[in-house]
Structures are given as structure tokens and as C-alpha cells.
Amino acid sequence: MIETTETTRSVVVERNFSHPPEKIWRALTQPHLIAEWLMRNDFVPEVGRRFTLSADWGQVDCEVETIEANRSLAYRWDTKDLTSVVTWTLAPANGGTNLRMEQRGFKADQKSYFQGATVGWQRFFTQLEEVVAKLD
């Protein structure tokens, strides 16, 4: 899904998981699990905590903005000339969890970032599902 405001666009990915929110939360907040589906990192789940996501292509500088265990997580996502916010929302649904991710803040002239995020988050979600399925 693509959401557009007058000045910025957002990439939204939403999927239902057959796992409880607590299990997905672990994959979203434990550094060794984040590394399996997203990127290498030094994440700590504390508001105001700065952390880095890194991959072969470079790194993303982040800062935790909000955190509500098993319900929501938001962090600033800064790379090169893109400043955006990634927000995760978890809601119980049909014995599992509805997981929604929104990355907002893409400017009109940032088409390559927007297209990369549109494709990338789909892949990351697939990898996230694989990681969550292996958890006890």
C-alpha cells in the first residue's frame, strides 16, 4: 500500500501472522533476531537510544522514538539524504497478530528510496515470517 500526503509518501506493509504478538515482538526487538531478517545492528529497546543498522551497501542511523512492549515501536531511519520514521504496530487478530509497518517521510524527489523501500520491506517481511516461525 502507498499513502501520500502533500509533501511526503509512506510505504505500508501489513500482514497477518499466526503467532502471538509477544513472539513477533521478540523478532522486532532482539538484536540477534533483527540481524536474521533485517540487518546487523546494535539495537536496544529504549526510547532515545541511538542504534545503527548495517548491510553490505552501507548503514542506517536510527533512534528509538516510541516503544510499547508487544504493541508498537517507532524509530527514526536516517540514511544519506533520507530522513524517515519506521513504525511497527502489532494487534491481536484471529488467534495471531496483525503486523503493520509504515515507513513515512519519502519526499517527491526521493523516488529511488521509495521504490527501494517498497520492494525491500516486502522481502524483509518474508524473512521476518521465517525467523518468527523458528522461535519457540
User: What's the rounded Cα separation, in Å, for the pair 85 and 115?
Assistant: 16
- The per-residue DSSP string of 57-97 comes to TEEEEEEEEEEETTTEEEEEEEETTEEEEEEEEEEEETTEE
Whether 124 contacts 38, CB under 8 Å: yes
Consecutive H or E run containing 121: helix 111-134
Asked if 37 contacts 130 with a C-beta cutoff of 8 angstroms, the reply is yes
Q: What is the pLDDT of residues 96-117, one digit of tens each?
A: 999 999 999 999 999 999 999 9
Q: Are strands 40-41 and 50-55 parallel, antiparallel or unpaired?
A: antiparallel
Average pLDDT over residues 44-72: 96
DSSP 102: E
2-134 is a CATH 3.30.465.10 domain? no
Residue 110's pLDDT is: 94
Residue type present at position 109: D
Tens-digit pLDDT profile for residues 71-91 = 999 999 999 899 999 999 999
Task: Confirm if 91 and 10 have CB atoms less than 8 A apart.
Answer: no
